Structure formats: structure tokens, C-alpha cells
Chains A and B, each alone.
Chain A
Amino acid sequence: MIESELFGHEKGAFTNAIERKLGRFEIAHSGTLFLDEIGELSLATQAKILRFLEEREFNRVGGSKTIKVDVRLIAATNKDLTQLIKKGLFREDLYYRINVVPIVLPPLRERGRIFRFSWIILSRSSVPRTRNRSRG
């Protein structure tokens, strides 16, 4: 359950919650939280992250106490979030909240010569086709 992993839970919040557990946001207090595949989050979890970004606070799952943390969020995705917004799978307001500093990493194939060289080496080392010459 991603919501409990991120925000923690109180004892008895759900069936397997036998004790209180701290979430990633609390563990990362005063530091950085890297949240990968943010496009996979459910709309409910997205709402909690939006609240964190706006108020810098959250509640543990099943908890009534509001917890404030100082966390720098770095989100990542390999999805086109604007497409997910159109499909109604990603909150537009959250998108604008996380897209403060966008960094778009180009695919490796577009990163300079080293890969083209390796392609040349590979193609040169490939074994030429052998011809069967029949002696007459």
C-alpha cells in the first residue's frame, strides 16, 4: 500500500497495521524524498501529496494528528503526465505543483558520440559472410 509507505500509518489503521509505522515523508524530514513513477499513483494518494506540497503537512493513514515535515520532493516519471491528465488519471493541479523545475532527460541514444562509435565497432567486428566456393 503506497499511501502507507509514503505517509506511514497508525496502529490499527488497517488489518495488518499491528504497530505505528513512519512513512517516507517522515523519514526524509529535513532531507529529500525521491518519488519515482509518480504517474502510477492513485488519485487519492495524489491528493495527499498535493496537500503536502501546499501545506507541508499530512496525516498518517488512520491518524488524526497532523504532521509537519520539511522535505524537498523530487518526482520522476517515464509517462507523459499531460496525457494522463487528459485521461483523468492525474490531477492537473498536482502537475503544476510538481512541475516547478522540469528536467527532461534525453534518451541515451541521443547523448553524444560514444554510442555511435560503439555502433561502428560492433558493425565492423561482425563476421563477414563466408562464401562456399566449390572447386571445379
Chain B
Amino acid sequence: MISRSLSTQALEKEVQYLRKEVDKNFGFGNIIGKSDVMKEIFNVIRQIADSKSTVLIMGESGTGKELVSRAIHYISQRRNTPLSRSIAQRSPRR
């Protein structure tokens, strides 16, 4: 019994640690930018993270669209639920 509760504690600690790591990796830390525009974007992300509304991220490739999507997911209440990712391919018939 005792050893089991000890191992539960250890597991809880590990979960906490891993959560922190995840926050580091998926929060705002990875998004480049200290300008007012980017600060405004961080504000918007914080405000809308917990709503269910659809988000449209626009920007040149390499500007961090995926990072923004991860930030929204991982600071929202959905952080412990799946984040699925898909890239649409150009359809050949067009």
C-alpha cells in the first residue's frame, strides 16, 4: 500500500514536470517577436483561447502559424485533449 502511494506521488510529480515542459515548448516561448504587433497577437491568443470560435491564421510561410495554433490549444482548457494537425495538399484537378 505504502509503496503504491509513494509511486503515485512520484507519478504526480512527473506529470507536473512534464506539464511545465510542455508549456515551455508549446506556449509563447517559441514565437519570435517583441514588437507591438506581436504583443497584440499574444493578447488576442490569450483572450480567445478558451472560446470555441474558429480561428483563421494568416501569414507567409515560416511566420509561425503552427506555433500560434499550438499556443492557442495548450493555453486553452482543451490542453489535455487531442490536437490534430493536417495540411491540405493542392488538388491536382485544379
Binding site for B on A (CB under 8 A): 2, 5-6, 24-25, 27-42, 45, 53, 72-78, 81, 89, 97-108, 110-114
Q: Are B54 and A53 in contact (CB under 8 A)?
A: yes
A-B contact count (CB 8 A): 171
Partner of B54, one of A5, A40, A98: A98
- Measured between alpha carbons, how far is A33 from B62 in the docked complex, in Å? 20
Complex contacts, A99 vs chain B, CB 8 Å: 56
Residues A108 and B89 in contact in the complex (CB < 8 Å), given A29-B82, A32-B81, A103-B45: no
B55 adjacent to A74 (CB under 8 Å) = yes
Q: Given that A105-B64, A105-B68, A110-B37 are known contacts, is A76 also in contact with B57, CB under 8 Å in the complex?
A: yes
- Asked if B4 is at the interface (CB within 8 A of a chain A CB), the reply is no
**B 56-94 to A, binary, CB cutoff 8 A, 1 in contact else 0:** 111111111110111011001010011111111111011
Residue B32 is within 8 A (CB to CB) of chain A in the complex: yes
Q: A108 to chain B: which residues have CB within 8 Å?
A: 32, 62-63
Is B53 at the interface (CB under 8 A from chain A)? yes
A108 to B87: give the CA distance in the assembly, Å: 22
How many chain B residues sit at the interface, stated as a range, is: 35 or more
Tell whether, in the assembled complex, residue A2 and residue B56 are in contact, meaning their CB atoms are under 8 Å apart: no
Q: List 25 A–B pairs whose Cβ atoms lie within 8 Å, in order of A's numbering.
A: A2-B88, A25-B84, A30-B81, A32-B76, A34-B70, A34-B73, A35-B88, A37-B88, A38-B88, A41-B88, A41-B91, A72-B76, A72-B78, A73-B55, A77-B58, A78-B58, A97-B54, A101-B48, A101-B53, A101-B54, A105-B63, A106-B37, A108-B32, A108-B63, A111-B34
B41 part of interface (Cβ distance < 8 Å): yes
| Bound Cα distance A5, B84 (Å) | 11
Are B73 and A100 closer than 8 Å at their CB atoms?
Answer: no
Q: A24-B85, A28-B82, A72-B76 are in contact. List 8 more A-B contacts (CB 8 A).
A: A33-B85, A33-B86, A34-B86, A37-B88, A101-B53, A105-B59, A106-B35, A107-B59
Within 8 A of A (CB), among B20-47: 32-35, 37-38, 41, 44-45
B36 to chain A: closest residue by CB:
A112
